[in-house]
Amino acid sequence: MRAVVITEPGDPEVLEVQEVPDPEPDAGEVLVRVAATAVNRADLLQRQGNYPPPPGASPYLGMECSGTIAALGDSVAGWNVGDEVCALLAGGGYAEMVAVPIGQLMPIPRGTPLVDAAALPEATCTVWSMVFRASAGRLQPGEAILVHGGTSGIGTMAIQLAHQRGARVFTTAGTPRKVAFCRDIGAEVAINYRDEVFDERVLAATEGAGVDVILDNMGAVYLPRNVRSLAVGGRLIVLGLQGGRTGELDLGVLMAKRATVQAAGLRGRPPLEKAAIVAETVHAVWPLIESGEVRPIIDRILTLDDAVEAHRLVESSEHIGKVLLRT
């Protein structure tokens, strides 16, 4: 099969399409013929040598895909060759074939094109597990959430889901076009972080109360301002470190607000936990996608041969939503 290979850690130019052996599904896995995958920021980190795949995962990039089941491993029930699926992966999506544990398979939502469905698994499962799952301090209707990076794949999904579930949605973005897009998909308050101080705007818009949940992709650089923006009992969920790993946390402010800071991640979770998240996500989110209330936001669709261009685009942050790679 063809796959995108990292020839050495480095810039996008180190990516190269090569012929590699087909994977074989183990017991409890299926082999998926990939229709498309999506480019996530974790892929950029892995390409740079800063985010190795978990033990036993495919060495190839790609944490989600859509496609058709081509073969079944032993002990597989409930799925058949020819089924159209999308899947949450620990790696391997940038290839023509990938082996997937059945707990990480998802049916294609009715009405969603097969290629477009590659935009769904990582964003929906991440947002569900970090914002809406009971163990994560579930966002309640009527609460307020601040979503940083509102036009990312995760950001666009978080805005839509929070809006549809009755939350008041705040978000940040970096250009007037992106700010307007965030409003179009459900953000009540969209803040251009280049022109405004987000915590001041949040506190002004909430009459000093702050927001109940913050979904943060920046990490250290936003830490003090995020804590300042939290309401009493608020939850700061850190899912990315684009602004650095080490920041200063005023524990006195955190204690006064009875707030919590949670570090979140999905790729390295145990298979059973991933399977539970996948099942919950299909149950809770798929009906909203099938009704048209929530949709995958796709910036553009390229091919595996365009992986270098796709990585440059995602690094530039000029896109809105997902960048997909067709096989």
- pLDDT for 74 equals 96
Q: Are residues 67 and 84 in the same domain?
A: yes
The structural domain count of the chain equals 2
CATH (domain of 254): 3.40.50.720
Tell me what pLDDT residue 133 has.
Answer: 85
* Domain end (from 224, 244, 263): 263
- Of 218, 248, 263, the last residue of a domain is 263
* 134/193 same-domain check: yes
Domain that holds residue 61: 2-120+267-326
β-strands 105-107, 84-88 pairing: antiparallel
Whether 149 and 180 map to the same domain: the answer is: yes
**DSSP letter string over 250-319?**
-HHHHHHTT-EEEE--STTS-HHHHHHHHHHHHHHHHHHHHTTSS---EEEEEEGGGHHHHHHHHHHT--
SS3 (DSSP) at 20: coil
Count CA within 13 A, CB hemisphere, residue 236.
26
In this structure, are 213 and 239 located in the same domain? Answer: yes
Please give the average pLDDT of every successive group of 10 residues along the chain, which has 327 residues: 98 98 97 98 96 92 98 96 98 98 98 98 96 81 97 97 97 97 98 96 97 93 94 94 86 92 88 95 98 98 98 96 98
Residue 295 and residue 309 in one domain: yes
Q: What is the pLDDT of residue 135?
A: 66
pLDDT of 284 reads 96
Decide: helix, strand or coil at residue 132: helix
My answer on whether 208 and 319 are in the same domain is no
Question: Considering the entire predicted model, what is its pTM?
Answer: 0.94
What pLDDT does 247 receive?
A: 86
Residues 246 and 273 in one domain: no
Q: What is the pLDDT of residue 248?
A: 87
